[in-house]
Amino acid sequence: MSRRTLGSLLVGILLGLSTGVFLGWGPFPVEYKNSALSALAPHYQEEYTVMVAEGYRYDPEVNAALERLRPLGKENTIAYVIDLTERYISQSNIRAIPIMVALVEAIIGADNLPPVMQLYRPTLTATSPAPLAP
Amino acid sequence: MATSKHVRIGKGISWMALIVGAALGLAAGLVYTWEIDPVIERNTAPWQLSAAAREDYVVAVALSYAANQDLLLAVDRLRAAGPNRNIWEMVAEIACDRVKTGKTITNSDIRVVRALEQLYAPQGASGCADGLYPTPAPMTFATPEPVMSPTPTLIPPPSKTPTLPPPTPITAEDVRPTSTPAAGAYVLTRLQSFCDSDQSGVIEVRVYDRRGEGVPGVPVTVTWSGSERDSFFTGLKAEREAGYADFIMEAGRAYTVSLPGFVSSAPVVEAVPCTAQDGRQATTSYWVNFQERAN
C-alpha cells in the first residue's frame, strides 16, 4: 500500500470516527426500549412516586406501596419518599403534599413525622384542651 | 503551471482510500457510542420501559385513578406509557396477565386487578380478568321483601260485648308447599362484616326461603385465588339454624360466596385483619344471607 493510499485511509478514518462519535452521542444517541423504572427521567420517577402514594389511599397496605417503589432503585426508599415530600412542601406543591405526607405517616408513624409535615397530615388527631388556669 | 499544480493535489489523495477510511471510521464511531460507551440512560420516558416496568407503571396509574377518579390525568399518564397503542387494551392485557400469572394472592393484588378493571372496563375494553374480582357490595342490610307467613290465629276469648265474627284463620291447606328454588331464585339480603376473636375469619352463610325459614341442603360454593373452590351444604350443623353453613377463611385472601342459580355478582369478602372488641387481633368475619326471591 502506497503512502498516498495509507494517508488517505487514515484521514478518512479520522473524519468518519469523529462524525460517528458526534452522531452517536449527539443527534442520534442509542434509544433504550427495555428500560427499568430506575432509568426513568427524574420527573417521571417523582410522578410515579406520587401515583404510588395516591394509590395507597385505595390500597392501604404500606408494604405493598413500598414494594411498588422498590424498582425505582433508590438506596433507601423511605428516605427518598421523605426527601421528596419535604421538597414538595418547600415547593408548595399543593396537590402532592397531602398525598405524600399520608404515605410518609403510614411508613414511619404519626409520632415520627417531621414537624414540617405535621401541618399537612390528612387526619389531625384531636388534642385535649389545655387545663384552665385556677 | 496551473495545470501541473492541480494534478499534484489530485495525486496526493486517494479518494477511494479516503471514502473507505471514512466509512470504517463512521462505523467504529457508532459502534463505540451505541455499544461500548453509550449515552448514560437517564432520561427514559415511560414508553421506553420494559414490559415488567411498564406493568408497574400502569398499575400505579390505575391505583392512582382508583383514588382520585381523574380520568384525564390517567389518560395522559397511560399515553406516556403506550403512545402508539390502544391504552385501554394495554390495561386490560396487564390485568389479564396478572390473573394468569397468579398475581392475585394478597388483598393488594386483588385491589390492583379491581383498579385496573375500573380503568379499562368503562372504556369498552375487555380481557380475561373481567368480573373476576368485583368490588364488594356495600356493607348494608338489604330490606327483605315482606313475606306472608301462616301464623296461627288465636280465637279471641269470649267477651260480654258483642263482637264481629272472628277472621277466618289461615289453614294449612292455604299454605303452598315449599318447593326447591328455581335457578336464580335467591337474592343476597345481607352482607356484613364483624370482628370476633372467638370466630376469626368465618363466613357465616344463611339461606332462607321466602317465608324467612332456614333452608337445609342448599349447596354453597366458596371460591378464592381464581381457581380454588370448596362446596358445602347448609343445615349440617344441628346446633345451628337449618339454613346455616360456615367456612373458615385464610387470612389475606378474598373469597366469593355463591349458591347454584345465584345470578347476581357473587359477594366478595376479604379476610383482612381486625381488632375485636376485647382488643385481641382477629380476622374479619362475615354474615352472608341469601333469601329465596318472592315472585
Residue A134 inside a domain? The answer is no
Amino acid letter for position B27: A
Please tell me the predicted confidence (pLDDT) of residue B161.
58
Task: Please compute the mean of the pLDDT values over residues B131-150 and round it to a whole number.
Answer: 63
Task: Please compute the mean of the pLDDT values over residues B282-295 and round it to a whole number.
Answer: 83
Annotate B157-226 with DSSP letters as a single string. Answer: PP-SS--PPPPPPPPGGGSPPP-PPPTT-EEEEEEEEE--TTSTTEEEEEEE-TTS-B-TT-EEEEEETT
Contact in structure between B110 and B104 (CB atoms under 8 Å): yes
Q: How confident is the model at residue A71 (pLDDT cuts 50, 70, 90)?
A: very high
The pLDDT tens digits of the residues spanning A102-124 come to 999 998 888 888 888 988 886 54
Q: Which residues of A touch B108 (CB under 8 A)?
A: 59, 61, 64
* Alpha-carbon radius of gyration of chain A: 26
> Distance between CA atoms of A13 and B12, rounded to whole angstroms?
17
The pLDDT tens digits of the residues spanning B255-275 come to 888 887 665 667 777 888 888
Task: Please compute the mean of the pLDDT values over residues B106-110 and round it to a whole number.
Answer: 88
At residue A82, the 3 state secondary structure works out as helix
Of B20, B27, B48, the CB nearest to A33: B48
In this complex, do A35 and B44 lie within 8 Å of one another by their Cβ atoms? yes
In this complex, do B17 and A40 lie within 8 Å of one another by their Cβ atoms? no
In this complex, do A4 and B43 lie within 8 Å of one another by their Cβ atoms? no
Residue A102 inside a domain? The answer is yes
Please tell me the predicted confidence (pLDDT) of residue A4.
83
Q: Which residues of A touch B53 (CB under 8 A)?
A: 35-37, 71
Residue A29 inside a domain? The answer is no
Residue with cell 477511494: B16
B248 and chain A: CB distance < 8 Å anywhere?
no
Please tell me the predicted confidence (pLDDT) of residue A125.
47
Residue A104 inside a domain? The answer is yes
Task: Please compute the mean of the pLDDT values over residues A70-97 and round it to a whole number.
Answer: 93
Residue spans of the domains in chain B: they are 46-123, 182-292
> Distance between CA atoms of B205 and B246, rounded to whole angstroms?
6
The pLDDT tens digits of the residues spanning B199-248 come to 899 999 998 888 888 888 888 988 877 677 888 888 888 778 888 999 99
> With 0-12 CB in 10 A as exposed, 13-18 as middle and 19+ as buried, what is A119?
exposed
Residue A80 inside a domain? The answer is yes
Sign of CA dihedral B211, B216, B219, B222: positive
Determine how β-strand B268-270 pairs with β-strand B254-258. antiparallel
Determine how β-strand B268-270 pairs with β-strand B285-292. unpaired
Please tell me the predicted confidence (pLDDT) of residue B71.
92
The secondary structure of residue A36, as a DSSP letter, is -
Tally of structural domains, chain A: 1
CB atoms within 10 A of CB A57: 17
Contact in structure between B203 and B286 (CB atoms under 8 Å): yes
Domain B182-292 class?
Answer: mainly beta
Looking at chain A, which residue has its C-alpha nearest residue B47? Answer: A33
pLDDT at B291 over 90: no
> Distance between CA atoms of A119 and B279, rounded to whole angstroms?
31
The pLDDT tens digits of the residues spanning B157-194 come to 655 555 555 555 544 444 444 444 454 578 878 877 88
Residue A114 inside a domain? The answer is yes
> Distance between CA atoms of B18 and B28, rounded to whole angstroms?
15
Please tell me the predicted confidence (pLDDT) of residue A83.
95
Print the domain residue range for A46: 37-118
pLDDT at B85 over 50: yes
Please tell me the predicted confidence (pLDDT) of residue B157.
61
The pLDDT tens digits of the residues spanning B25-65 come to 999 988 888 788 776 666 789 999 999 999 999 999 999 99
ipTM for the whole predicted complex goes beyond 0.85? no
Region of residue B208 (phi > 0: left; psi between -120 and 50: alpha; otherwise: beta)? beta
Instruction: State chain B's mean pLDDT as an integer.
Output: 79
* Residues contacting residue B29 through CB under 8 Å, at least 6 positions apart: A16, A17, A18, A19, A20, A21, A22, A23, A24
> Distance between CA atoms of B127 and B183, rounded to whole angstroms?
28
pLDDT at B7 over 80: no
Q: Which residues of A touch B62 (CB under 8 A)?
A: 55
B50 and chain A: CB distance < 8 Å anywhere?
yes
Residue A133 inside a domain? The answer is no
